[in-house]
Structure 1
């Protein structure tokens, strides 16, 4: 099914001119999103004394971010990151700074101003992840190295969302959750400005009078569909882990289980990116999703939290590879001038699915046995993966992809020969 890649080196990816500088800047900015949600939730709750307002504000933040994501991405595809990211980052950072000031001390008004500020922050949030993946595609035209870059990007992004809450926890511990909101503002502004200052940002498709239509057919929308199912399943899993640990009187184990999921995802993502896979990506994605669904069903029968942590680690092995594959598929399905929008649709599908999965399984917990709840969480993955696998005309499409993989492998071999000669 697979063979070791002849250039399984992430070091070579990062040694590409301007890659490390641009990627580092993107990570600084993206850390903001790992820090802001916990910080803002606690800051709003502490300042207003209202859990309902905090929950509504965070929901509005998410709705604003997802609903306007295609518009933001379209502006970037049309005008390039150097013209669009700075104003987005400045507006977003300014709104976060205003929220930090408004929630610095208890006694803040629990009215509509905080809700408006939070919703506007979501609307203005710069899509640093999709932009970075578009830059990866420009920096690395070689398919094999681009696979490694996307895998590395996905793994590190997930780790940022593990590290971010820890950083937010430090500010909460000293009694200043609003300082975490302010730090998020600094991070996103510094990261975005550093990204666009990189020479890589200048190598962007020439701006057009209008952004080209986002046309990719099934090659684009199938990965988006599968990732939406993935988000539904993993969003449900997050709440199921809490319910499982609570029923076993080990609520503190939730952090360890989530850490096991993240660790498994990191291992799976790095391993996936370092190998050349024989199966076409359009087949890889649903198979990875089906494997994850099977692990989720089995997790429902875990006898204790240790077993559930092991199941979470196994599930994680398929998460980063599935996301990486989806990003690669949509990147290949559209012209260069539409890559940011294509990647944003994957992001939006995952985020929307995650929120929906959490809400849906929350209605089920307490009304059904936990093993059944885990099975329900796996159902969206099963349905979307099956729908993609069994669609008519797949054989001809896959044969074409296989031919492209063979061509890419030949190109990779030539690149490696040149590298060794230069060395």
Structure 2
């Protein structure tokens, strides 16, 4: 089956922007489906927290339920992504999404009855978290199929990161609108429905049917160095150029070498910084008697991240990703350290916005580095590892700063939270020659990471 996706043509003087990204065949509908499903990630956690709190009357029970939900979701993310890489999104995502939705409905049903055992609720919550479909990593894999041009792929990853940031802002707002109408349990049901609908629409896209990243296919660059892959058939419908024969699919190790380790490190320290920042902003605002300032200070973080992500995607200068990664992590750490010196909420908001300017570019570049580091059939797992590192870092950052706030001066807390990002920059500089075993993109003529 010939591939149905290709990149828009580029002339020598062309400056493709975000319109070219969304104008690629099937890109708009595929991205919209992914965003619909990923909106659930902003809805379900808050709605589930409120549901368990209302049923048990205990904040500690609700917090414990959300902790195990997050742990199951984060720690098993690479496993779920590996299933997608091995068997393909059309075989894995629909049953995973339906099971996730059914388990969330079971949580709502269990909490609707008084006297439900907390152990049962906890078990259902853990099971739901374990089944969370990896829509973000899958969409980033689809972007690679849609856009072989490195400049367009960078814009797509930047746009994807900014959109995800906005979804995590929009999700809680949607919960606030749903609560007076359907209550917290109804909001959980809506979140489950969003994910199931988005996942089913995503795998209905022609992009999910084939391409160089389909399961069972060989490296998209071809065994003999030829282009391969782009016109390859889907493994389920017969072999094509660069594809392994049906029934002889090989299970490829993740690999990735130093490049993947660098991407995971950058993502982890970015998550750690952001996980610590939320609590420090709250402590700062309460210390100044301005708790209402928390919302707009954190909104400045999201706004800065959006500007940084869109700006990165608009760049035309071919700065290697290996050079960008330490610069973005160092910029984030420096801005976070300076934020601790702010005398008031207004300047803190400016400093936090400046820190946010580096967040989306750092994560986007980490995803690009991971994507370049591994064979196409391991792309979803590589993205999942970067995502897992960010979430794990965020959890550690939040927990760690929670032990420090109240015992140390806030400027020192900010500095300590910035230290991992600053310390990671020299390590990433030493790792910038990504000479590990991971395969190179054919589109990178110099042999280094694609721009």
TM above 0.5, one fold?
yes
Cα drift, residue 387 of structure 1: 1.2
The aligned residue for residue 160 of structure 2 is: 153
Aligned residue-pair number: 402
> Equivalences for 1:393-408 in 2 at 5 Å?
394=433
Cα drift, residue 311 of structure 1: 1.0
Write the distance in 2 (CA, Å) between the matches of 1:200 and 1:401: 23
1:194 to 185, 197, 201: 201
Confirm whether residue 362 of structure 1 aligns to residue 370 of structure 2: no
Cα drift, residue 173 of structure 1: 4.2
Confirm whether residue 350 of structure 1 aligns to residue 358 of structure 2: no
Q: State whether residues 259 and 434 of structure 2, in contact with CA within 8 Å, keep that contact through their aligned partners in structure 1.
A: no
Write the distance in 2 (CA, Å) between the matches of 1:80 and 1:20: 21
Of the two structures, which has the highest relative contact order with CA contacts closer than 8 Å and spacing of 6 or more?
Answer: 1
Unaligned runs of 5+ in 1: 413-423
Write the distance in 1 (CA, Å) between the matches of 2:210 and 2:443: 25
Q: State whether residues 308 and 357 of structure 2, in contact with CA within 8 Å, keep that contact through their aligned partners in structure 1.
A: yes
Secondary structure class of the residue paired with 1:276: coil
Write the distance in 1 (CA, Å) between the matches of 2:41 and 2:280: 23
Q: State whether residues 53 and 110 of structure 1, in contact with CA within 8 Å, keep that contact through their aligned partners in structure 2.
A: no
Confirm whether residue 120 of structure 1 aligns to residue 127 of structure 2: yes
Write the distance in 1 (CA, Å) between the matches of 2:285 and 2:329: 25
Q: State whether residues 272 and 390 of structure 2, in contact with CA within 8 Å, keep that contact through their aligned partners in structure 1.
A: yes
Secondary structure class of the residue paired with 1:251: coil
List per-residue Cα deviations over 1:1-29 (Å, max 9, x = no partner): xxxx9424101110111110110000000
Instruction: Give the TM-score normalised by the residue count of structure 1.
Output: 0.90
> Equivalences for 1:121-136 in 2 at 5 Å?
121-136=128-143
**Coordinate RMSD, CA, aligned:** 2.3
The aligned residue for residue 414 of structure 2 is: 374
Write the distance in 1 (CA, Å) between the matches of 2:49 and 2:442: 50
Confirm whether residue 139 of structure 1 aligns to residue 142 of structure 2: no
Write the distance in 1 (CA, Å) between the matches of 2:435 and 2:48: 50
Q: CA separation of 1:28/1:395 partners in 2, compared to 1, >3 Å: closer, same or farther?
A: closer
Confirm whether residue 166 of structure 1 aligns to residue 173 of structure 2: yes
List per-residue Cα deviations over 1:59-88 (Å, max 9, x = no partner): 111111122111111110011000000010
Write the distance in 2 (CA, Å) between the matches of 1:263 and 1:111: 39
Write the distance in 1 (CA, Å) between the matches of 2:143 and 2:60: 41
The aligned residue for residue 258 of structure 1 is: 298
> Equivalences for 1:198-213 in 2 at 5 Å?
198-204=205-211, 205-208=213-216, 209-213=249-253
Q: State whether residues 263 and 316 of structure 1, in contact with CA within 8 Å, keep that contact through their aligned partners in structure 2.
A: yes
The aligned residue for residue 229 of structure 1 is: 269
Q: CA separation of 1:214/1:406 partners in 2, compared to 1, >3 Å: closer, same or farther?
A: closer
Secondary structure class of the residue paired with 1:362: helix
Write the distance in 2 (CA, Å) between the matches of 1:320 and 1:137: 19
The aligned residue for residue 84 of structure 1 is: 92
Q: State whether residues 41 and 55 of structure 1, in contact with CA within 8 Å, keep that contact through their aligned partners in structure 2.
A: yes
The aligned residue for residue 27 of structure 1 is: 35
Write the distance in 1 (CA, Å) between the matches of 2:268 and 2:159: 21
Write the distance in 1 (CA, Å) between the matches of 2:74 and 2:376: 22
Write the distance in 1 (CA, Å) between the matches of 2:333 and 2:214: 42
Write the distance in 1 (CA, Å) between the matches of 2:181 and 2:117: 23
The aligned residue for residue 310 of structure 1 is: 350
Cα drift, residue 103 of structure 1: 3.1
List per-residue Cα deviations over 1:271-295 (Å, max 9, x = no partner): 1101123432111011111011111
Write the distance in 1 (CA, Å) between the matches of 2:115 and 2:321: 51
The aligned residue for residue 274 of structure 1 is: 314
Query: Greater helix percent: which structure?
Result: 1
List per-residue Cα deviations over 1:134-156 (Å, max 9, x = no partner): 00001111101001100000000
Runs of 4+ displaced beyond 4 Å: 400-408
Q: State whether residues 325 and 428 of structure 2, in contact with CA within 8 Å, keep that contact through their aligned partners in structure 1.
A: no
